[in-house]
């Protein structure tokens, strides 16, 4: 609540928002509408899904996983975004203080 007040959101506004979200669950077409919007929304946060990573202004992506998964993702991105797509690896040693 303190964060909401600091952001200028009165309790009435927050309550109205929560009630509106709860009311959505009664909409029988909610799933269809969310599915329709999925590629547009996910494409902005998952490179290669719908929008090319270079076309998302200010996009910076971060993934954690084993090398096999990152290599597979990089191969996928090369097909989806183009041959210049690259996944850069960071390792714990990259953060060591020497």
Helices vs strands, H then E, count in the chain = 4, 0
CA distance 30 to 82: 34
The tens digit of pLDDT for each residue in 12-38 reads 999 999 999 999 999 999 999 999 998
**Residue 72: pLDDT over 90:** yes
Residue 85, Cβ neighbours under 10 Å: how many? Answer: 19
CA distance 51 to 38: 12
Please report the beta strands in the chain, taking only residues with DSSP state E, as ranges in sequence order.
none
CA distance 48 to 60: 13
Domain count, the chain: 1
**The domain containing residue 70 runs over which residues?**
2-95
**Residue 98: pLDDT over 70:** no
Q: Of all residues in the chain, what percent carry a pLDDT higher than 70?
A: 99
């Amino acid at each position: 609540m303190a964060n909401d007040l600091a952001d200028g959101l009165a309790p009435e506004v927050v309550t109205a928002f929560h009630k509106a979200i709860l009311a959505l669950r009664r909409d029988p077409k909610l799933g269809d509408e969310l599915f329709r919007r999925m590629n547009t929304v996910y494409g902005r946060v998952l490179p290669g899904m719908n929008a090319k990573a270079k076309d998302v202004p200010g996009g910076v992506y971060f993934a954690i996983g084993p090398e096999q998964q990152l290599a597979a993702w990089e191969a996928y991105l090369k097909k989806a975004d183009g041959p210049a797509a690259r996944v850069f690896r960071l390792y714990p040693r990259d953060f060591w203080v020497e």
